[in-house]
Amino acid sequence: MSARLPDDPSHLPETLCAQGLGRIAAPYRDIVPPIHMASTYVRDHDGQLSGGRLYARDASPAYDQPEALLCALEEGQDALLFSSGTAAACAVFQTLRPGEKLVVPKIMYWGLRKWVRRFAAELGLVLVEYQNDDLDSLAQALAGQPPRLVWIETPANPTWELTDIAAASALAHAHGAYVAVDSTVATPVHTRPLNLGADIVMHSATKYLNGHSDLVAGALVTRENSPLWQQIRESRGMRGAILGPFEAWLLLRGMRTLHPRVRIASASAQAIAEFLAAHPGVEAVHYPGLPSDPAHAVARRQMENGFGGMLSFRVKGGAAAARRVAGKLRIFKEATSLGSVESLVEHRAPVEGPETTCPDDLLRLSIGIEAREDLIADLTQALAQSA
């Protein structure tokens, strides 16, 4: 069953989110939608399914409202929820067949990069990597054998390079490839990749879409009902990488506050990036909202309402100094993940291990919705103590 667009699509995204599309369920007309826990559905005596459902793995009513809201936010035609962001991404990659060409960025979520490299080798795919922020590098990767799929991650975790989605999509489509964009960090508050030419947008819904560190989920939204999308929809039903009904309900609850959460985090990230850029104990800051950042020009073209709640900075003194700073922070919690209401810090290279592409003195910050003055004070004292 396809995700339905809202009954009144004229409302602004902030209103659609806050209202959860404004759908009121019969018979009680609950403001908060009910949780649909059923796994199977009764047939009529003539064998028909008058309720429109066969089995929850294919089409749980728990998915209808959050999928439709995602469709509206990304201005897409259909959406699918998955059990995790990785499951959503893998559903796209698993449409490829032996011998087909897959083009991916050099900098992307490390767990997915590791899986893609292994998957490509096992399946016999032609895997080509390009530099995220270099269209010439992408053009070289597209040359030769026509690609089946181009994957984009922007901003790219954990150093936040940006890919020009419109230009990259035009290049990829000229070679007959589908384009999928991991827009987890940007969220539809900042960027809508489908409007820039991408075919599919992916979210680790665990992060900003849910925003409360109490759910693991993934999502895909498509620009059109293409043959590739039909393969992905069939894959979800047959492989069973589905989201539970309670988790779908939690996701919808989280999306109702998406816009204020993301805007607060982005404004605070901007202020913190500017503070760190001027700090004598900081070697470099990676944040597309800084005019000095190499990604700033692209960010201004394809991002709105701010430049995201994620930034990284390199500590003077190397890995040991970075470790000390992380250990001295009091408000920032040392934890993996991102995009929630609480601020997190992670010394990223040791987490990623030997295959990491990020410097060993880099700390990744996920900015929450705390008072930015408190967050800056926390960084100030940590940098002072670890100097």
In the chain, where are the structural domains located? 13-255, 258-385
Phi-psi region of 37 (alpha: psi -120 to 50; beta: other; left: phi over 0): alpha
CATH topology of domain 258-385: Aspartate Aminotransferase, domain 1 (3.90.1150)
Give the pLDDT score at 1.
46
Give the pLDDT score at 98.
97
Regions of the chain with pLDDT less than 70: 1-10
Q: End-to-end distance of the chain based on CA atoms, in angstroms?
A: 58
Residue 70 CA to residue 330 CA, distance in Å, equals 35
Considering the domain 13-255 in this protein, what is its CATH number?
3.40.640.10
pLDDT, tens digit, for every residue of 158-186?
999 999 999 999 999 999 999 999 999 99
The catalytic site residues sit at 57, 109, 182, 207
Pairing label, strands 200-203, 178-182: parallel
Q: Is-contact 203 315, C-beta < 8 A? A: no
Give the pLDDT score at 6.
57
